[in-house]
Amino acid sequence: GVAIAAMGGAAGIDTVVLVPETAPVGKLAQLLVFGAELYKVRGSYDDAFALSRQAARDLGWYCRNTAMNPFTAEGKKTVSLEICEQLTRAVGRPASAPWRAPDRIYVSVGDGNIITGVHKGLRDLHALGWIASMPQIVGVQAEGSAAIASAFAAGTTEVTPVNAHSVADSIVADRPADGRRAVLAAQQTDGDYVVVSDEAILAALVDLGRDASVFAEPAAATAYAGLLQHAADGAIDPDGHVVVLVTGNGLKDVASAEHATAKAPTIEPTIDALRRAIDDRPRPS
């Protein structure tokens, strides 16, 4: 929504964005600043999604919706080109040689469109001979919104709707619109799906900030939580090239970041008060 609002504003094209009423304030502010006509819809993401599809049909609007518009996956696939091009440079391979693909890519999954785009980009590169082999693609879902992971575990591409809920609002989807292709992205690359708790997601959010200086929203940190779970299970090759996609900035959902971290104390403007606060601060165990 934010991207289409920004591009619409730059191009002078009116954009209408429907969001669930629970959408974080940071995301709404961005949409409004870019000039989108914004409506909060009572209900879930899927309710807003369904209404936007009906509006496109009934009102003659151009539908940009995930999985409904084929250009969405085509746009998102370009991240695969960037990953392989940049990894090639990082390992010191000449630009004229075939690009170096990572061994594995972790992707947060909600509707399934991003992982579908990642898969499409890699398949295109492989078909053109730009990469020698396909990386494993690992989708990561929140345990409260794991319809696609459940289908993968059952060995089917038929995704059964769920009553989705998670702190990672951007990947909450009752009926994943691109579910079938999202399952195939892992199936066809000898990949996997990982399901993580909200607690693990918030912990990963903090770890990314402190260890990598990356401020991610919960949905984006979900991919890293999946990597951490695989690492704990001994499922990571320490000599392999592994990529984690962090797909959303933490400023979009500041409330979750505040919930995941300790509160800052308020002190008097004296050196004694500062010293007491420093002495009283929690110490790592």
Domains of the chain: 2-65 (3.40.50.1100), 71-260 (3.40.50.1100)
CA nearest neighbour of 84 among 93, 75, 74: 93
- Report yes or no on whether pTM surpasses 0.75: yes
Question: What is the pLDDT tens value at each position of the chain, 285 positions in all?
Answer: 888 999 999 999 999 999 999 888 888 999 999 999 999 999 988 899 999 999 999 999 998 888 788 899 999 999 999 999 999 999 988 877 789 999 999 999 999 999 999 999 999 999 999 999 999 999 999 999 999 999 999 999 999 999 999 999 999 999 999 999 999 999 999 999 999 999 999 999 999 999 999 999 999 999 999 999 999 999 999 999 999 999 999 988 888 999 999 889 999 999 999 999 999 888 765
Confidence at residue 129, expressed as pLDDT on a 0 to 100 scale:
94
CA nearest neighbour of 14 among 5, 3, 22, 2: 5
Confidence at residue 96, expressed as pLDDT on a 0 to 100 scale:
72
> What residues have CB less than 8 Å from 254, skipping those under 6 apart?
24, 26
In this structure, the number of other CB atoms found within 10 A of the CB of residue 96 comes to 5
